[in-house]
Structure 1
Amino acid sequence: MLNKFYVAAAAVLLFSATSCQKNDAPVQEETITNDVINSVKAMGFSTQNIMATEGGYIVEGDIFIPGSDLKRAHNGTILRVGESEQYRTTNLVTGLPRVITISVDSKLPSSYVAATDDAIARFNAENLQITFQRVSSGASIAIKAAPRNARYLASAGFPTSNGNPYNQVLVATRQIGNQPQATVATILAHEIGHCIGFRHTDYMDRSYSCGGSTANEGASTVGAILIPGTPAGPDPNSWMLACIGSGQNRPFNNNDKTALAYLY
């Protein structure tokens, strides 16, 4: 049976542990206060397993929320795909058409370059108003190594209020281990999805892909927009599902493509 792991909104896949950024020092556990929990819930994120990290918090396994955002009002929309929903955040990438550059830190194994190129090709094949290009430096999105002591597989954040994508994806190489290129490409494409404004497809019930008890946090302060023409019924193969099995590959399915085309 495949192991389940969280992919991110920002965290991407959780095999057996979790990770983000370069730091080998022991992590001192920080108490998550009720104020933090309530703010995370008000933003519409799951309050299960919130992790404190430098500058903010990791929620839903891979989504980075800056501490400064916890008290900010959020008025966004949700994109639904059938009975399994595609969600977006308040902010999206603007200034379209636009090329978004991506770099891979030289400290990462060379296999991440190939996986990044695979992820980029998946997006570019959709003929969107955003295209992606790998560069050596000065990128819009930098893929970097997470700290060795991080407790997630990968993480990313959401677009900024000025219409730029979130600027980094952190990957825990020791967590992802010897996963095949297609799996790593799926993880990276998932985190890039967060960077351009996508939330987890099964945000309303993470047990759909992760198992366990039902986890429905509700729409909170965001509304909902149904994407016309999408089929009813579960969507078991979306690239933005919260969890994925070890060795699994999730290229964009038809609902993913509809959601991407709707936004970009």
Structure 2
Amino acid sequence: MFRQVTRTIAGCLVAGACFTACQKENNDAVQQQPAQASTVPQEVLQQITNKGFNIAGARKVDGGYLVEGDILLSTQDLADVPTTPNLRIAEVEQYRTNNLVTGLPRVIRVRVTGLGTAFVQGTDLAIQRYNNLGLRITFQRVTSGTANITISGFYQGPSGGFITLGSSGFPTSSGNPYSSVSMNTHPQAYGSNPNVNYVGSVIQHEIGHCIGFRHTDYMNRAFSCGSAGAGNEGSAGIGAVPIPGTPTGPDAASWMLACSNGGNRTFNANDIIALNYLY
């Protein structure tokens, strides 16, 4: 998950596009597309493309490769053969990954470690929002014992006009949620006094990935990211399965849109349809 960072250079404001988390309006901003990391081998880029993900801005990180701003693909993810090869292009609706959380009804235990009060409260907010829907999957924050999802921090400043807010991955082939969410504690990510609604909305989004949701506008990031985010996140035929009952036109304010204004965002009506269909 990325957000826009504004810098002052020789009296001019230079800003990057804001992926997943937000893109703020700035009349003096020059939007920049992140360069593709040269450290990613060509064969890995091809694997990412074959999985139906965009290679623009892909980079090597601990545990695998970060793509589409906030999605971590492990080596195993890239090697797995999908069982659901359907992918529909050029529509805006909710999408799931090939793997989902199984063993329903199920309680997913979430633990926050090494993070401040705003991140703990943000986690509680995200959990409350999911649990209020009455799904067959519920969440519980724990302070000890084994957790299914661990939320921890990393410290990383902006690069090329971008700053990563958080990242996560997708469910495993064995039906478990992705096991971690990483949240950036750098001051330029959330400020020195993080807003709980903002932090909670990002955690809510990242948990969405953990249980199998892709970006609502993956096929055309321009819908939420503006011209700098235009493009399809993947058209290889796998990796995104449309969820019946969700709209085929633009769906404003979805919690899984690639970009937002950086503020409070929760489920819209179609998000709730998608969550109820899957869980």
Name the TM-score, length of structure 2 as normaliser.
0.79
Q: Which letter does structure 1 place at the counterpart of 2:253?
A: N
1:161 aligns with 2:173: yes
- Which residue number corresponds to residue 85 of structure 1? 93
Q: Residues of 1 paired with 2:199 and 2:178: CA distance?
A: 19
SS in 1 for 2:130: helix
CA contact under 8 A between 2:23 and 2:261: conserved in structure 1? no
Say if 1:32 and 1:13 are closer, same or farther in 2 by CA, change over 3 A.
farther
CA contact under 8 A between 1:14 and 1:153: conserved in structure 2? no
Say if 1:55 and 1:223 are closer, same or farther in 2 by CA, change over 3 A.
closer
Aligned-pair CA distance for 1:13: 5.5
Aligned-pair CA distance for 1:32: 1.6
Structure 2 residue corresponding to 1:256, chosen from 264, 268, 271? 271
What are the within-5 Å matches in structure 2 for residues 21-100 of structure 1?
31-76=39-84, 83-100=91-108
Q: Residues of 2 paired with 1:235 and 1:124: CA distance?
A: 23
1:132 aligns with 2:139: yes
Unaligned 5+ runs, structure 2: 5-16, 25-30, 32-36
- Which residue number corresponds to residue 190 of structure 2? 176
Aligned-pair CA distance for 1:231: 4.4
Q: Residues of 1 paired with 2:119 and 2:155: CA distance?
A: 16
Q: Deviations over 1:34-80 (max 9, x none)?
A: 21111111100111100111121000000000123323322336798
Aligned-pair CA distance for 1:179: 4.2
Q: Residues of 2 paired with 1:86 and 1:77: CA distance?
A: 16
CA contact under 8 A between 1:79 and 1:227: conserved in structure 2? no
Structure 2 residue corresponding to 1:118, chosen from 125, 134, 144? 125
Q: Which letter does structure 1 place at the counterpart of 2:181?
A: V
Q: Residues of 1 paired with 2:255 and 2:112: CA distance?
A: 21
Aligned-pair CA distance for 1:161: 1.1
Residue range with higher mean Cα deviation, 196-205 or 214-223: 214-223
- Which residue number corresponds to residue 6 of structure 1? 19
Say if 1:142 and 1:202 are closer, same or farther in 2 by CA, change over 3 A.
same
Q: Residues of 2 paired with 1:251 and 1:176: CA distance?
A: 18
Q: Residues of 2 paired with 1:242 and 1:127: CA distance?
A: 26
Q: Residues of 2 paired with 1:34 and 1:189: CA distance?
A: 33
- Which residue number corresponds to residue 13 of structure 2? none
SS in 1 for 2:260: strand
1:239 aligns with 2:246: no
Q: Which has the higher contact order (CA 8 A, sep 6+)?
A: 1
Q: Residues of 2 paired with 1:183 and 1:34: CA distance?
A: 36
Q: Which letter does structure 2 place at the counterpart of 1:32?
A: V
Say if 1:122 and 1:78 are closer, same or farther in 2 by CA, change over 3 A.
farther
Residue range with higher mean Cα deviation, 47-56 or 29-38: 29-38
Q: Deviations over 1:169-204 (max 9, x none)?
A: 000021232442111111000000000000111111
1:193 aligns with 2:208: yes
CA contact under 8 A between 2:50 and 2:236: conserved in structure 1? no
RMSD over aligned Cα atoms: 2.7
Name the larger-Rg structure.
Answer: 2
1:203 aligns with 2:218: yes
Say if 1:222 and 1:76 are closer, same or farther in 2 by CA, change over 3 A.
farther
Q: Residues of 2 paired with 1:56 and 1:224: CA distance?
A: 23
SS in 1 for 2:79: coil
Q: Residues of 1 paired with 2:87 and 2:266: CA distance?
A: 19
Q: Residues of 1 paired with 2:66 and 2:133: CA distance?
A: 30
Q: Residues of 1 paired with 2:150 and 2:58: CA distance?
A: 24
Unaligned 5+ runs, structure 1: 17-28
Q: Residues of 2 paired with 1:244 and 1:124: CA distance?
A: 23
Q: Residues of 2 paired with 1:211 and 1:37: CA distance?
A: 25
CA contact under 8 A between 1:13 and 1:154: conserved in structure 2? no
CA contact under 8 A between 2:60 and 2:66: conserved in structure 1? yes
CA contact under 8 A between 2:118 and 2:199: conserved in structure 1? no
Structure 1 residue corresponding to 2:116, chosen from 87, 109, 120? 109
